[in-house]
Amino acid sequence: MADTLLEIRDLKIEATVYPPGEKPQDIVIVDGVSLALEKGKVLGLIGESGAGKSTIGLSAMSYGRGGVRLTGGDILLNGREIRRARGSALRALRGHEVTYVAQSAAAAFNPAKRLMEQVIETSLWHGVASRAEAEARAVALFAKLGLPDPETFGQRYPHQVSGGQLQRAMTAMALCPEPDLVIFDEPTTALDVTTQIDVLAAIKEAIRDTGVAALYITHDLAVVAQVSDDIMVLRNGKTVEYGPVDQIINHPQEDYTRALVSVRSMEHPEKTDEAESVLTVDHVTARYRGTHFDVLKDVTVSLQPGHTLAVVGESGSGKSTLARAITGLLPPTKGAIHFAGRTLSPALAQRTKDDLRELQMIYQMADVAMNPRQTVGTIIGRPLEFYFGLRGEAKRKRVQELLDQIEMGEGYIDRYPAELSGGQKQRVCIARALAAKPKLIICDEVTSALDPLVADGILKLLLNLQEQQNVAYLFITHDLATVRAIADSIAVMYQGEVVRYGPKASVLSPPFDDYTDLLLSSVPEMRIGWLEEVIAHRKMESAGH
Amino acid sequence: MSPVVKLLAQRIALGLLLLFLVSILIFVGTIILPGDVAQSILGQSATPEALANLRRDLGLNDPPVTRYFNWLFGVLQGDLGTALTSGQDIATQIGARLGNTLFLAFWAAVISVPLAIFLGLLAVRYRDRWPDKLISGVTLASISVPEFVIAYVLIFFVAVKLRWGVSVATINDSMSLGDKLYAIALPVAVLTLVVLAHMMRMTRAAILNVMQSAYIETAELKGLTMFTIIRRHAFPNSIAPIVNVVMLNLAYLVVGVVVIEVVFVYPGMGQYLVDHVSKRDVPVVQACGLIFAAVYIGLNLVADVVSILTNPRLRHPK
């Protein structure tokens, strides 16, 4: 193994946690993980949040985030043991031999400095290159990564470029000092699918052309299948399965890996029965106060009781604004919203209590949608009090029923949100919406912040509840796998307009309009070589036009 | 118009408006104060006729609105009126006093601001280790003790026991700069101790706040040393809150030093104000109040301007 760049043997990582009301405890977050990476190869680390994948990634720089300590095992980089390294020995390898690409490039760039200054900082600090050489190299990398105006791109400040561009700039920053190893920590997770595919292709090409090795960390198996040579599946800080990408994707050995591979294949037959619409959005146009730009342009959609309408589109397409218009938070400038046989008044303040009750909402961030100082019982009990006047034992009984419905059990009634997992928090939010006995629930990216398997559970729960209670969902999402799993009809939004709308089967079958085609073809598929096919296909198409 | 220029114009206009409102407040405040100027000038034995005559001569019988605008237009032309008790021109008297106060504040600031920022950086660098705890503890102790206690303790040990300084900080125009500095050494030391803690702790908090940011981790993973990270990446992003607290303390050095001036018998604005409040010399009190307000608003305006100018989003719009 002369070519081994990084070897980790029996790594153990611990952290101190401070549970409320108890003494601080040391917990093991990574236990007995071993891996080896050769020069120029890419190893994908995959797992849910809390699996320890970022922690392992950062251990290749001998870095523990927060109070995390690397307490056992060996980390060999270029043949040197680095876990016990301190001070200048550590600083000499960070940014020189190993560099890091963070998930949120927007937060990882210093807002007060120009991009070029930050991109070449490492090269100058470690004496890898002179300023002129480093700048020339940065410009070449900007060009390779497909950034606009590579010559002058570096003169901008971070807030002056888009999220996808920043992510590429961060990749340039990591590659500029010519490291041996780059750690990519969820580099495309925060991006829209249509942007993700470009960044992914740029990263893959840059890795291939520079011959650098990489640790690629993500929770999305379909993404990691596109860029890796090997994949390690992690769960709760332990290795579940480790092998070549073909074995993991096509012949997984472990149940957990099989579950991850099949997670996106949930199907939902669309309902087609015709009934009176529960919601009709009728030629609605809206803009934010003090602006001169319509964020919704002549939007018309409708939804039957017990059905799900998925609204898809990338960030800024107006899908959340549509929810704000329906809920009355943003009164439309034109058009009307008909709901359950009546026309809703545009502004929230004029709506009746029944209007409010029958139209509920669930948000993406369950954490911030609940008061952290109220118990689950209080949170779910509030709409019961407000809409139905339930008190005392009657209220508690109903809360227990609702907890049963979300498959959580009454043991949770006196818990606080901080004591729940991400999926459980979202379930509590669902119960709170259900408590009002609504006819329509608007779900705004409710599974986007969750791990795939947890998200699957939430989707199944929503479908079950729909069957039992005949509630309609307006499901806002950017994730087309979710759409396939839950929708009856689909509205595709782009720049404030509905560009494609109809039953699921017809929206998802050709012929496509340009935007829907781009959107659909950008969703990563669980298949090796998918990325190359799409890129080659797009190049051919653009050459053909 | 660029957004920065627009914002700056807004801030300056707001500052002027605020000053105008404060001038009304000062005027109304001095009117509703109990007591009678004429009475306090002429004493308890004055005849009612003499009092009435004096009130008429001073214009105290005019309606308040007229008196306010007469005063305001005078102020706008640089005429602060005449002191009732001494009959001297207030502007001339205040000129010298204000000069002395600014002299004291300037030297206190020259020492305390860089020291506070340096100590703040040091505390961040050695966070939760003994240098941090020592700096925090000492500065916290010095801010907790009333300033006159610090002043008298310093006078007792430094001026009386060790004879290193003078306890009476009298200065005049005929003194050389060196003599003046020697004279004000003790009040400057006390003022430094008083404002140091606040500025140092804010500097520490502001930088620590920035140190939580993801881009600090990026810098750490670039292999930079801690001090370089603080200097290059943390400090430029914490200038605005630091300047804010520095300006608040500078304002304090100008308008809040009454006690220190009295303890050290320093001929500054504070003592002048206190003297004339006790004599019910309303025009002097109004003039001092207005000048203090102007200094306060002006320095806070500077803080706002600096935080606008250091924000890259405003300086370099998309």
> What whole-number distance in Å separates Cα of residue A139 and Cα of residue A147?
9
Give the mean model confidence (pLDDT) for residues A203-211.
86
**Sign of the CA dihedral A167, A170, A176, A180?**
negative
Angle at B159 between CA B157 and CA B161, to 5 degrees: 50
Please answer whether residues A180 and A97 qualify as being in contact, where contact means their C-beta atoms are separated by less than 8 angstroms.
Answer: yes
Q: How confident is the model at residue A10 (pLDDT cuts 50, 70, 90)?
A: very high
pLDDT above 80 (res B38): no
* pLDDT exceeds 60 at position A2: no
CB A125 within 8 A of CB B224: yes
In a domain, A532, yes or no: no
| Domain end point (choices A200, A232, A262) | A262
Q: DSSP letter at B77?
A: T
User: Same domain for A251 and A284?
Assistant: no
Q: Are A486 and A305 in contact (CB under 8 A)?
A: no
Measure the CA dihedral A403/A407/A412/A415, to 10°.
Answer: -90
Instruction: Looking at the structure, tell me whether residues A300 and A241 fall in a common domain.
Output: no
Which residue among A91, A93, A108 places its CB closest to the CB of B225? Answer: A91
pLDDT at A544: 66
Inter-chain contact B215–A92, Cβ cutoff 8 Å? Answer: no
* Residue A198 contacts residue A518 (beta carbons within 8 Å): no
Q: Closest to B318 (Cβ–Cβ): which among A100, A111, A160? A: A160
Which residues numbered 214-273 in B keep a CB inside 8 Å of some CB on A? 214-215, 217-225, 228, 232-233, 236-237
In a domain, A120, yes or no: yes
Position B243 in a domain: yes
Domain end (from A206, A227, A262): A262
Q: Where are the alpha helices (DSSP H) in A19-86?
A: 53-59
Q: Which domain holds residue B212?
A: 90-279
Check whether residue A292 and residue A247 sit in a common domain: no
When mean pLDDT is compared across A234-248, A266-280, B123-137, the lowest value belongs to A266-280
Domain count, chain B: 1
* Whether residue A442 sits in one domain with residue A297: yes
- How many structural domains are present in chain A? 2
**Span of A13-22, A145-154, B46-55, B119-128 with lowest mean pLDDT:** A13-22
What is the spatial distance between Cα A320 and Cα A324, in angstroms, rounded to a whole number?
6
Where would I find the H helices in B223-281?
A: 226-229, 239-255, 258-263, 269-278
B316 contacts in A (CB within 8 Å)?
Answer: 156-157, 159-160
Q: How far apart are CA A357 and CA A359, in angstroms?
A: 6
Judged against a pLDDT cut of 90, whether residue B85 lies above it is answered with no
Place A293 in a pLDDT band, splitting at 50, 70 and 90: confident
Which residue segment(s) compose the domain that A236 sits in?
A: 39-65+86-262
Phi, psi of A442, deg, nearest 5: -90, 120
Minimal-distance CA residue of chain B relative to A122: B222
Are residues A309 and A245 both part of a single domain? no
For residue B222, give the nearest of A94, A159, A160 by CB distance.
A94
A321 and A386 co-located in one domain: yes
Select from A99, A121, A166, A167 the residue whose CB has the most chain B CBs within 10 Å, as the one to mutate to test that interface. A121
* Range name among A83-87, A147-151, A218-222, B76-80 with the lowest pLDDT average: B76-80
Cα B316 off chain centre by: 33
CATH classification at residue B246: 1.10.3720.10
Are A188 and A43 in a shared domain?
Answer: yes
Contact A6, A76 (CB under 8 A): yes
- Whether residues A292 and A239 fall in one domain: no
| Residue B219 within any structural domain of the chain | yes
Quote the DSSP letter at residue B269: H
Residues of A in contact with B220 (CB under 8 A): 63, 94
- ipTM (interface predicted TM): 0.77
- Amino acid A99: pLDDT: 95
Closest CA to A128 of A158, A86, A99, A165: A99
Crossing angle for the helix pair B177-211 and B90-125, to the nearest 10 degrees: 40
Same domain, A250 and A317: no
CATH code for the domain of A329: 3.40.50.300
A195 and A132 together in one domain: yes
Residue B308 included in any domain: no
The continuous run of DSSP H or E covering A248 comes out as helix A245-250
Residues A287 and A419 in one domain: yes
A234 and A371 within one domain: no
**B307–A contact, CB cutoff 8 A:** no
